[in-house]
Amino acid sequence: MSDNILYMDRDLLVKNLTAWAKIVHPRNHDEAILSFDGSVLIVDTRGATIKTPACGTWDGEFRVCAAFLAMIAKVAHPKGPIIFCIKDDRLRVNTSSTPCVSQPTSKALIHLPIDADTAVYLALKLRYSMEQIKASGFLKSLQAAESQCNRDICSAEQALSKYGVREEDLRALVDQALIESGLTAKV
């Protein structure tokens, strides 16, 4: 495996990341997929893809915290290029770093709208494998959606238990509603 190091024009990368962050509003559980096509760094996230000219070597794809990339756009950088380097399972950008996960290049990433909500993330598991969800950078968002859904179901169960409504009834109702809403066909 070769070194994974990319050099990008500082001003252009900051401009691209700033514009992307204003559109996407990355949350802490959002992940971005980083890849390199030989001349361009590609950042794929929920609802948006940005491309920035780069030079260097980069094998495969890497999942990173999308909020980290938004932070990169806000911090001061020394003159010269911004360097993205993968080392010891971390993406290093100048003096900052974040954990990253290497994965084989996937041509079939799941694409979601920018305004994806809890229902959209829950619908993913009804249509895609967990590996596809993970490779597309949506596993943590799905887990957050499932946690929210579990809290909502528990609240509803408490209110409806006096009528004989059980937790499993509510879970089946949620899954059926996702299917009937057409969300499973859209994601």
Q: What is the pLDDT of residue 127?
A: 85
Whether the Cβ atoms of residue 65 and residue 21 lie closer than 8 Å to each other: no
Residue spans of the domains in the chain: they are: 4-103, 118-186
DSSP letters spanning 35-52: EE-SSEEEEEETTEEEEE
Q: From CA 168, how far away is CA 114, in angstroms rounded?
A: 31
Q: What is the pLDDT of residue 175?
A: 86
Provide the strand spans (E) within 38-95: 40-45, 48-53, 55-57, 61-65, 82-87, 90-93
Confidence of residue 187 (pLDDT cuts 50, 70, 90): low
Q: What is the pLDDT of residue 184?
A: 63
Q: What is the pLDDT of residue 170?
A: 93
pLDDT for 108 beyond 70? no
pLDDT for 77 beyond 80? no
pLDDT for 1 beyond 50? no
Q: What is the pLDDT of residue 186?
A: 60
Phi-psi region of 51 (alpha: psi -120 to 50; beta: other; left: phi over 0): beta
**CA atoms 84, 86, 88, 91: torsion sign:** positive
pLDDT for 2 beyond 60? no
Q: What is the pLDDT of residue 24?
A: 86
Note the pLDDT tens digit of each residue in 124-168.
988 888 988 988 888 988 999 999 999 999 999 999 999 999 999
Note the pLDDT tens digit of each residue in 17-73.
999 999 888 877 889 999 998 899 999 888 788 999 999 999 889 999 999 999 998
Spatial CB neighbours of 173, under 8 Å, sequence gap ≥ 6: none
Q: What is the pLDDT of residue 181?
A: 83
Q: What is the pLDDT of residue 160?
A: 92
Q: What is the pLDDT of residue 75?
A: 84
The 10 Å Cβ neighbour count of residue 136 is 24
**Fold of the 4-103 domain:** DNA Polymerase III; Chain A, domain 2 (3.10.150)
